[in-house]
Chains A and B, each alone.
Chain A
């Protein structure tokens, strides 16, 4: 049987023996991680629920400082729209000729 990747609040309620309203309160308080897939519809990643049951959900803490590095260039590999400008410029030049 394939394991479900996401659970509904009703699934969680059934497994924990609590009401769906209580599950929603847990989501709203941040006690249980969930994703809002559409207006008012939550899904709980199965992995999050496993961590919740095991008591292994992480609490945010300050990230460590790293070492000094060369400044990265973000989105490397993305073609910048300079080529588009050049192409437009060439087209305008051709039209003017």
Chain B
């Protein structure tokens, strides 16, 4: 459970972590949605090669009300698209009904050694925090060699 104030701090800390890696993006806001949920979405361009496009980290979370001034994370989308090295890694927790019905999981991952041609559409994964996602993306950023998609377990 997290209060609105804590969520603002959570988002501020995620943003500061990325800014301190030299990423560029507009100041993110914690938005209220017409569903009564709150959440945010940001897309940060990382420094380094911009050919064909800069590497990007996208973070989005949706938090559902869970009692008075309390929220619990209901969905997330953490994406790392490293255009200069033509690859992608992502941790997703969205459309839980679909994934529960299809695979009896609530979250999944994506891994593309070459952008646009994944060996598997959805991989098994474990729930992950935004901070852990940034840590994992940063550990891949600019590092040569394969992402290791072959070691992941395919869902479909």
Contacts and interface: CB of A to CB of B under 8 A. Distances in A.
A66 B30 contact: yes
Contacts of B33: 68-72
A74 B156 contact: no
Interface in B25-58: 27-35, 37, 39-41, 47-49
Contact of A74 (B20, B92, B102, B135): B92
B31 A5 contact: no
Contacts, number: 132
Interface of A: 5-6, 33, 35-38, 45-48, 50-51, 57-75, 78-82, 84-85
B48 A5 contact: yes
A47 B47 contact: yes
A37 B136 CA distance: 9
Contact of B16 (A5, A58, A69, A71): A58
A1 to B, nearest CB: 16
Q: Which 10 A-B pairs rank lowest in CB-CB distance, beginning with the nearest?
A: A47-B22, A66-B29, A63-B11, A66-B31, A71-B33, A62-B8, A35-B138, A74-B94, A60-B16, A60-B13
A81 B103 contact: yes
Interface string B2-20: 0001001101110111011
A56 B12 CA distance: 16
Given A36-B135, A51-B22, A81-B99, A63 B8 contact: yes
Interface string B105-125: 000000000000000011000
Contacts of A58: 15-16, 19-20
Given A68-B34, A72-B60, A79-B121, A63 B139 contact: no
Contacts of A6: 142
Interface in B61-108: 62, 75-77, 92, 94-95, 98-99, 101-103
Nearest to B108: A81
